[in-house]
A and B are shown apart, each in its own frame.
Chain A
Amino acid sequence: MSRLYVESASVLAPGLAGWPASRAVLAGERPYLAEPMPAPTATLLPANERRRTTGIVKLALHVAQEAMSRVDRNPWETRTVFASSGGDSEVLDKICTALTLPDRPVSPTHFHQSVHNTPAGYWAIATGCTQASISLSAYDGSVAAGLLEAAALALAEAAPVLLVACDLPLPFPLSERRPITAPFGMALLLTPQPVASRLAVLQVRPTVEPATPMDDAHLESLRLGNPAARALPLLRVIARPEQGRVVLGDDCGVAASVEVGP
């Protein structure tokens, strides 16, 4: 099975404010404290666009931008995979609410923002990247599916791939039927070519095994509380890249086995 090199990683979630500040926490060298998540800045977006875009776009672009900021690689040569269970539920809630009102005043802006590839579209516009980009969902297996797609894309096309995974708590009343307890966003820059400066080396394949839990109870509840946080076991071994193996996924039957080495 071919190798993938992790050139860069980023994360934004409660108590995980960027990779440099989170690495030691993920590695178990510092305790995890579930402090509120700092607001994503997504400074790549022009100010007027930043005002109009919704939370999930800002979160996705923020973690994508953080991952790219620490490598000498042009975003426009990097393919992208955006994984999210539910996409922009804030916008979907507004549309479904408008549809219950007289004359059904659906906002044209909300409608075009409702597509699952909206973060991908804004990322392409902000970076000028015209490369292939895939947006996908596999419910609680979305991160596993995203990692498999990113690996397949990087290996089959011999190209660097930025994987971005994000989910946000849903607004009421959807929140009652799809509880997501905390925001979570993360990104990994993967390349099939060996690079000297790397965080870890991965070998990825699909599996039907159960997911690897987190040892820390608070991080485990974060992992179970957000589909994108199903990436946490992988981020933990990237933060502490001894030889090991983790399984990402959940009960929906989409899972990825990842062998990790330094």
Chain B
Amino acid sequence: MLSASCEQDWVNMAIKPLAIAAYTVTNALGRGVSAALRALRRGESGLRPCDFEETDLNTWIGRVAGLEEEPLTGEFAAFDCRNNRLARLALEEDGFAAAVRDARARYGADRIGVFVGSSTSGIRSTEIAYRDRDPATGRLPESFDYRHTHNLFSVADLTRRWLGLNGVAFTVSTACSSSAKAFATAYRHMQTGFCDAAVVGGVDSLCLTTLYGFHALGLASTQVCRPWDAGRDGLNVGEGAGFALLEWAESGDARVRLLGYGESSDAWHMTAAHPEGAGAAQAMGEALARAGLAPEQVDYINLHGTATPLNDAAEDRAVLGVFGPGTPCSSTKGWTGHTLGAAGITEAVFTFLCLEHGFIPGTLNTRQPDPNLGAGIVLDNQERPLRVALSNSFGFGGTNCSLLFGRDRP
């Protein structure tokens, strides 16, 4: 239920659009946007049976090849861990770091904020340190550097140092909505004048904590994940990183823009989504209100669509409640797996690609849509011009975020 005061807020909540000045993404589909675009277009999944180091789980994962062989060295050696390696890889793709250097020359290093989403940061380093504890004393190996690897800030700290930025910086950590919420945070800091531009992103990498954790919860599928499918039985954990550079949009600017964001809390349960998707619907409604758009003006919804039975059902109710059954929507988790704290940026970048190249990705691996779900699920890729698209990200603790992106001309 929305309170009267909340509805009143909506009247004047329209935001000024932000231009997506540069962006990049790296995940199981490969490094950079061209690898993602090619795989999305061809319907080629990046998922594989779990072959992550030390694991013995019967599940599928989305793994970034080659991370093991590419350590951080020199002045960044202290940051060396799987998660920061992945961050560095992504920052160097698609000319992203160079675009930020240009922006730094225009705005100044102090005036660009850094907001990076992550759920587990470099916890893999702590897992390894616990494995290698001194059997007599229980102490961790001398080589273990908590601050620069495991601590949540480590990935935002590496990002700002790699890019030579000195403005406000922190890690947003709200489970699987983290890097979607980074966009909302960036907007607020720019709107308040705390920075003039912002680097937003998300990085989460494979670790035993999430692989065994989702397994313990019974949420990790033994098959390739199948969002919205009648036989869906869980998610596949993936790893990924992505970044975007946000600047105020100039009039007539044809680049993709952030038009609106919406955030809410379910206030329901720590792991189970609200069965009616009330929080998700509130987030989508707020994103529309901030963009000043009606539901029928949205051409495509990139669903959170994790492929767990309850999450997809709750999101379906929410989408139906806000948009009805007519708006085309799909989940791209069948390509990348669930990249957790990086899911927001990963799917935001996929949404940019859909807007720029005029297509809707299908819902890979899904062949028998659940008859109990009513949203307008798209199974196979469609070529069509898009003007406005929504991306959903939801997480444990009942945290929800929806982002609306658009472009001037289809």
Contacts and interface: CB of A to CB of B under 8 A. Distances in A.
Tell whether A and B belong to one assembly. Answer: yes
B217 A2 contact: no
Interface in B124-154: 126-127, 130-131, 133, 138-140, 144-147, 151-154
A121 B265 contact: yes
A180 to B, nearest CB: 11
Contact of A152 (B119, B123, B171, B188): B188
Among B126, B195, B215, B268, which residue has the most Cβ atoms of chain A within 10 A? B126
Contacts of A92: 123, 126, 209
Interface string B234-269: 000000000000000000000000000001111111
Contacts, number: 225
Contact of B169 (A105, A153, A254): A254
Given A87-B152, A158-B9, A2 B396 contact: no
B67 interface: no
A106 B191 contact: no
B156 A87 contact: no
A124 B266 contact: yes
Contacts of B195: 206
A164 to B, nearest CB: 14
Q: How large is the interface on A (under 10, 10 to 19, 20 to 34, 35 or more residues)?
A: 35 or more
Interface class of chain A by DSSP: mixed
B271 A112 contact: yes
Interface string A51-95: 000000000000000000000000011000000011100001001
Interface stretch (B31-39, B173-181, B305-313, B342-350): B173-181
B170 A112 contact: no
9 nearest CB pairs, A to B: A121-B397, A111-B213, A116-B173, A132-B263, A137-B152, A145-B170, A124-B265, A152-B188, A156-B188
Given A112-B396, A133-B265, A172-B138, 12 more contacts: A99-B209, A106-B212, A108-B213, A113-B270, A117-B396, A117-B397, A121-B396, A129-B267, A130-B265, A130-B267, A131-B264, A205-B193
17 contacts: A77-B5, A92-B123, A106-B216, A117-B175, A125-B267, A129-B267, A130-B266, A132-B184, A136-B170, A139-B151, A148-B168, A151-B194, A155-B192, A174-B126, A174-B146, A252-B153, A254-B168
Interface of A: 1-2, 76-77, 85-87, 92, 95-100, 104-108, 111-118, 120-122, 124-125, 127-139, 141-142, 145, 148-149, 151-153, 155-159, 172-174, 176-178, 205-206, 208, 252-254
